[in-house]
Amino acid sequence: MSKSNAVPGGDAAVPAPEKIKPSRYMRELRPEYYSDTQNRDAYDLDQSTLEYHLDTLTNRNETHEFEIFARKLCERAICPNLRPQTGPEGGGDSKADTETFPVAPEISIAYVGDVAGGSERWAFAFSAKKRWKEKARNDVKGIAETGRPYQKIICVTSQFARTKDRADLEQELSGEFGIPVTVHDRSWIVKEIIENDRKDIAFNYLAIGKVVDDPRRLGPTDYSRAQQLADIEKALADSEAFRGMESQGVTEALVAAKLSRGLEKPRTEIEGQFARAIRLADANGNYRQRLEARYEQIWTGFWWFDDFDLLKASYGAFEKEALKSDHSANVSLLCNLHQLLINSVVHGHMTREECDLDARTATLKEALQKIASNTERPNNALEAETSLLIIRMNKPVLGGKTEELREVWRGFMQVLDRAAGLGEFKAERLEQMIEIGGQLAGNDPVYNELVEKLADFVGKRSSEAKGAVILLKRAKQLDFSDRIEMIRLLGKATFALSKKEYADELIDATQHLAVAYRSAGLFWAARAACLMALATIVIEGEEDNRIPVIFIPTLKLWAWLSLSLRHIPDFLNAIQLLNGSLKAMLLTEETKERVQGAARMMSHNNAPGLTISPIAGEPASIKKRR
């Protein structure tokens, strides 16, 4: 989807060729506003059902199914490196049903279970027979008589075993055959399946239980939201909780409605909570609370439920209430709703006449001009001027005369000049608007001058790194036809982003800088930028105990640059790291296939005399690490 649309908070509208639903657009632009819970399979299986099924395996002649189930359970609970035996009855009564195969220490150290299983040879025997003691003795005897150097024997039975009987048998067999023996009975199986939530193994290999959607398995953000919501609802239900501080109860009610919105609860529930917040605000709240509760209700209807009728029906009353104030922070809420009208018209959801756009625009401009003329409140006046410029941005877009935007860019530069000495001026909204303007400006030199002025302003006002982020975003808006300007912006951004707290942005900048250098034919410079990105990724990954997926396309870029430079050592190192990453990282099969497919192109373009393993491929693009 193109991101050349309006965003909340007064972002400028940009035409799009199709009717894009607000909820669809916002979900892609600001996914953090929405629920992060995904549908996950859960398994419904109770202990009594599992115990009965294990007790009746032989009646249904499912001993072979049990052997497979037991092996899969041991792979999950004990060690994953188990080799299945061939034949209809597994290992039979004279040898192991499965055994470990050796793996490198670097791999086994990461096992969940006993690390020794990676270097030692262990034998496993599985049984569903009622006479479990006799079966265990025969299995251990048969395994020991093979003469193989097993260092441990583990027997798993579907039957219950008294703790004393099991311990005595383990001691007896270990002493008789000189190999440590462990017996796991039905109690162990039940504990691993039910208590340790491995019900999927029973479902897949014993065909018991059922798959259900588990609403309790929330995403991390939703889990936090749900906890906060529960606490707030509990407090709101207590009539004494906010006695003497009713205004705080209003705030909490609005927070509860916004949390439900983020959880994407049913619309009726969300609307009911907003209605409660408005009711409490009217009874106990101040002017700002009454205004904000209504604003959030309309804003939610638009961006969550694509409700244009609510916007049309509520705008007039909200306008009347908002214009009672001469505070820019309050009137800016009306500016944001006005921008929703612009968006709706641009994308064909409403006509100008249908939403009375021209009259409402004139009313808003008149109010803002009055505020902007009050020189006794310079911060307030300058924020009003910023809102007026945002409205001016819409006129060229609606009329198709984008060349008129240069005057808007010059107006923003004047605002920046005046804001330099105003410590209380809220520059964040202005920053957002200038950034959005880049989607309209192309490579306009006036806009580029505005971006640099904004970068200088933010760098002095907050930090050098924050200004570098603006340069980074601007560089990413340019095409490779403007590669020289892109390199210049990215070079400045990279230098300023060399700070610990901006590691993600530094990675993003150096990746793009490497691609920009490459597009200009500056391969050695591209190599340096790419290696800087890789080093930063590895350093951050070590601290986070996780190498992000962005490591793979960066490695692919390094491999391609190495081929272009005929730098064979670099290329071999990139391939080696890429091989290890594909095996070690959690990637979907689709992603692996895509990387392997790209590798064939690299093999076709390889260096003379060099055989290339089909791993890496040309990166189509570098995406920001999330």
Q: Is position 583 within any domain? A: no
Using CA atoms, how far apart are residues 188 and 157, in angstroms rounded to an integer? 9
Q: Is position 576 within any domain? A: no
pLDDT at 205: 93
Using pLDDT thresholds of 50, 70 and 90, give the confidence band for residue 607. Answer: very low
Q: Is position 374 within any domain? A: no
Cβ contact 339:11 at 8 Å: yes
pLDDT at 608: 37
Using pLDDT thresholds of 50, 70 and 90, give the confidence band for residue 551. Answer: confident
Q: Which domain holds residue 69?
A: 44-213
Cβ contact 255:232 at 8 Å: yes
Alpha helices, DSSP H, located in 78-151: 105-108, 132-145
Q: Is residue 346 predicted with pLDDT exceeding 80?
A: yes
Q: Is residue 594 predicted with pLDDT exceeding 70?
A: no
Between 220 and 6, where is the model more confident?
Answer: 220
Using CA atoms, how far apart are residues 546 and 300, in angstroms rounded to an integer? 36
Q: Is position 104 within any domain? A: yes
pLDDT at 15: 44
Q: Is position 9 within any domain? A: no
Between 425 and 261, where is the model more confident?
Answer: 261
pLDDT at 437: 81
Domain count, the chain: 1
Average pLDDT of the residues of the chain: 82
Which residues, at least 6 apart from 27, have a Cβ–Cβ distance to it below 8 Å?
Answer: 33, 34
Cβ contact 510:495 at 8 Å: no
Identify which of 574, 23, 64, 91 has the alpha carbon closest to the alpha carbon of residue 347: 23
CATH code for the domain of 145? 3.40.1350
Using CA atoms, how far apart are residues 493 and 468, in angstroms rounded to an integer? 4
Q: Is position 65 within any domain? A: yes
Q: Is position 305 within any domain? A: no
Between 108 and 569, where is the model more confident?
Answer: 569
Cβ contact 53:220 at 8 Å: no
Using CA atoms, how far apart are residues 484 and 449, in angstroms rounded to an integer? 16
Q: Is position 165 within any domain? A: yes
Q: Is residue 616 predicted with pLDDT exceeding 60?
A: no
Cβ contact 462:426 at 8 Å: no
Using pLDDT thresholds of 50, 70 and 90, give the confidence band for residue 73. Answer: very high
Both tokens of residue 34? Answer: 């929405």
- How many residues does this entry show for the chain? 626
Task: Work out the average pLDDT over 267-277.
Answer: 88
Query: What three-state secondary structure class fits 38?
Result: coil
Percent of the chain clearing pLDDT 90 (strictly above): 41
Using pLDDT thresholds of 50, 70 and 90, give the confidence band for residue 180. Answer: very high
At 194-238, the pLDDT tens digits run 988 889 999 999 999 988 766 556 788 898 999 999 999 888 887
State the pTM of this model: 0.50
pLDDT at 114: 56
Cβ contact 391:398 at 8 Å: no
Using CA atoms, how far apart are residues 595 and 366, in angstroms rounded to an integer? 58
Q: Is residue 269 predicted with pLDDT exceeding 90?
A: no
Both tokens of residue 218? Answer: 């929330």
pLDDT at 197: 81
